[in-house]
Amino acid sequence: MATIRFKAIEEVLNRKPVDVTLPSVKTSEYFGENVFDKYKMQEYLSHEAYKNVVESINQGIRIDRKIANQVAIGMKAWAVDRGATHYTHWFHPLNGSTAEKHDAFFEPAEGGGVIENFQGEMLVQQEPDASSFPSGGIRNTFEARGYTAWDPSSPAFVYGNTLCIPTIFVAYTGEALDYKTPLIKSLNFLDKAAVDVCQYFDKDVEKVNVTLGWEQEYFLIDSALYNARPDLYLTGRTLIGHSSAKDQQLSDHYFGSISDRVKNYMVDFEIEAYKLGIPVKTRHNEVAPNQFECAPIFEEANLAVDHNQILMTLMDKVARCHNFRVLFHEKPFKGVNGSGKHNNWSMLTNNGKNLLSPGKTPKNNTQFLTFLINTVKAVHDYSDILRASVAIAGNEHRLGAHEAPPAIMSVFIGSQLSSMLDQLEKRVTNKKMTPDEKTELKLDIGKIPEILLDNTDRNRTSPFAFTGNRFEFRAVGSSANVASPMITLNTVVANQLVQFKKEVDALIEKGIKKDEAIFQILKKYIIASKKIRFEGNGYGEDWIKEAAKRGLSNISDVPEALKAFISKHTKDVFEKSQVLTNRELEARYDIRLEIYTKKIQIEARVLGDLIRNHVIPTLIKYQNILIANVRGLKELYPKDVYEKMAEPQLNTISEISERIAIIKDSVDEMIEARKKANTIENIRDKAPEYSKLVVPYFEKIRYHVDKLELIVDDEIWPFPKYREMLFTR
């Protein structure tokens, strides 16, 4: 086995960077060339069809069947021109990845042969035999029909030889089986709610788009080393492995110069991303060795979500061409930083105003404060479902592990805004303000500087931080589909804005002036949501105590966190807003529990196999070497000399035996715990069993294996070590 390890290391040492052919033209000249965007639509569609599609994009109106046929013909002609032979509906099922089933464009022709064909109905709707996708009981197998339907707001694209058409995926009963359906609903809900609130400040606002800029963290590992680690290729993370003597202590990787091999990889996937219109802009080394980040320029949220999913697929494919494997797991290596996906979120009006950006005038800034405070209030009221929206098995190693945001939801807004809110809280009273007070308040509000963007403290430990002109939700896992936290955030903020409007209007109806009504309600919200605001160090022990005192929840256990999906509080807001029905929430809860349980089950199995088939045999081999040595010494030397000489070996021999006994017993117990958990039918009872009874064995077993890795002859240790995986490139 060790030979596999050494062969892998040798392979890596002999690697040369894979050359990349740079496009001969400027990026702007090929950016989006494989996307059926508005320009190409104009070229390939009739004026009528084009107008219809644009209307449907802007207003969310259904596309007429007749028009769909014209669009299909145009889209196909464009795709064939770009070399496509197949097409697929591309969707986001609830297993967290994306799905595609390719069909050729041609159809059998009458009288034999084939003709190229692609009708409107194939564009607009399909019925994939997709009975194996998770549905949480929404589809029984005998009625397993699911439909995919075109989402014109995200443009079709050609990848390889395939025309990919972004679609939603719903059951024959209309229930959503994907992320996109509720995402679009949540975006529409927020659009409407935000437009209504904007009317207080700016009558010209007709449409509010959510903007999303995600930052994607990832690890790279050479494929030879990856292939020598069954835990990595089966679970995405290392289940054993002692930390490297040097890892990230010196912070010498963060923003360091990027090696040629890695840089070529980045350039290569960026070129592919540009062709698909993904505006990847930033690349840099992250904190942990072999950890990196890429970030695009923000886009409309639905498109940004699609782009993140496409990019993850691209990054994986391109990595293989460079003899790398890209790891999106939240915690592939113990002891060094894990990976997250920061979600930068804001709202943009049709007349170009970022609603979370302070402006030049008091009026603009009242609008800014309104959206800021309502967002804080929404996060306060719905922190549990926000926390649940990012709860996945991999993220459990990250949240609350003193290096990523804690599992406690809190909001950071920076000292300047904090004192602003404190002033508002003190100033505005329920009695009518004097004109002087009003002017003073307005003056103060007018003082929020535009340069806030550069001034906001960069608190990196907050899970939800205001960063000058947007909020950054940092608790999202690196492997996650960002739609899930986005659906939640959009919905709770929209719901909050509706509530705000209702309360302000009620005061106005009572004869209170608009401005004052707004301030009174904002003051109420500032007080009501105060406990969620935290400016200090989110990684510190003190915060855990302080948060408990404030009554904030701190759930690091996935099944426990997921309960928020079906709380009455959650159901009320999602049902009322029609983003997700109760049944859909119940289904999502079950699906996530199911996925969590299966992941833990796989990890437990893999760990058991590694211990029994690799680790213990290696230990025995080494112990035998030591035993032979001790025997030899005994033969050669007089008793008193031998005893002294053999002592260290004898100690190691017993240490190995002692630890083997613990490891072996723990693995047996873990298997028993798993078997017991498996007898439970109901996933809602089974998942907590896995989390409480199986998961604790992982650390216990690993502790002893990692200690043994340090004393066993390096020549026979079967798995690539941390120092090799993190530093050989």
Q: At what angle do helices 616-636 and 639-678 cross, to 10 degrees?
A: 170
Number of residues that bind Mg ion (CB under 5 A): 2
8 A C-beta contact, residue 423 and residue 509: no
Residue 478 tokens, joined: 């690196």
Q: Which of residues 283-312 bind ligand ADP (CB under 6 A)?
A: 295-298
To ligand ADP, the closest distance from the beta carbon of 297 in angstroms equals 5
**Contact status: 463 vs ligand ADP (CB under 6 A):** no
Q: Which is nearer to Mg ion, 126 or 216 (CB)?
A: 216
To ligand ADP, the closest distance from the beta carbon of 195 in angstroms equals 18
Residue 470 interacts with, from ligand ADP, Mg ion, none (CB under 5-8 Å by kind): ligand ADP
Residue 177 DSSP symbol: -
- Report which of 309, 342, 385, 305 is spatially closest to residue 476, judged by C-alpha positions: 342
Contacts with 631 (C-beta within 8 Å, 6 or more apart), sequence order: none
Helix (H) or strand (E) holding 171: strand 162-171
Q: Which is nearer to ligand ADP, 151 or 215 (CB)?
A: 215
To ligand ADP, the closest distance from the beta carbon of 561 in angstroms equals 25
C-alpha–C-alpha distance, residues 147 and 382, integer Å: 32
Q: What would the x/- binding string for Mg ion be over residues 285 to 314, using CB under 5 A? A: ------------------------------
To ligand ADP, the closest distance from the beta carbon of 296 in angstroms equals 6
Helix (H) or strand (E) holding 718: none
Tokens 């990856």 correspond to 226
DSSP string, 603-637: HHHHHHHIIIIIIHHHHHHHHHHHHHHHHHHHHHS
Q: Which is nearer to Mg ion, 244 or 343 (CB)?
A: 343
Q: At what angle do helices 514-528 and 435-446 cross, to 10 degrees?
A: 70
DSSP string, 230-256: HHHHHHSS-SS-PPPSSSSTT--STT-
Q: Which of residues 267-286 bind ligand ADP (CB under 6 A)?
A: 282
**Which of these ranges, 10-18, 186-194, 286-294, 336-344, lies near Mg ion under the rule CB under 5 A?**
336-344
**Contact status: 215 vs ligand ADP (CB under 6 A):** yes
Beta bridge partners of 91: 99
Q: Which of residues 327-386 bind ligand ADP (CB under 6 A)?
A: 344-346, 354
To ligand ADP, the closest distance from the beta carbon of 211 in angstroms equals 4
Count CA atoms within 13 Å of residue 283 on its CB side.
Answer: 15
Number of residues that bind ligand ADP (CB under 6 A): 15
Q: Which is nearer to ligand ADP, 539 or 622 (CB)?
A: 539
- Report which of 568, 625, 262 is spatially closest to residue 270, judged by C-alpha positions: 262
Q: Which amino acid is at 257?
A: S
C-alpha–C-alpha distance, residues 471 and 386, integer Å: 14
Residue 179 interacts with, from Mg ion, ligand ADP, none (CB under 5-8 Å by kind): none
To ligand ADP, the closest distance from the beta carbon of 20 in angstroms equals 23
Q: Which of residues 464-483 bind ligand ADP (CB under 6 A)?
A: 469-470
8 A C-beta contact, residue 692 and residue 651: no
Q: What is the CA radius of gyration of the chain?
A: 29
**Contact status: 342 vs Mg ion (CB under 5 A):** yes
Residue 354 interacts with, from Mg ion, ligand ADP, none (CB under 5-8 Å by kind): ligand ADP
**Which of these ranges, 162-170, 210-218, 530-538, 673-681, lies near ligand ADP under the rule CB under 6 A?**
210-218
**Which of these ranges, 217-225, 340-348, 591-599, 610-618, lies near Mg ion under the rule CB under 5 A?**
340-348
Tokens 């029909």 correspond to 145
To ligand ADP, the closest distance from the beta carbon of 344 in angstroms equals 3
**Which of these ranges, 69-77, 182-190, 214-222, 424-432, lies near Mg ion under the rule CB under 5 A?**
214-222
Residues that bind Mg ion (CB under 5 A): 215, 342
Residues that bind ligand ADP (CB under 6 A): 211-213, 215, 282, 295-298, 344-346, 354, 469-470
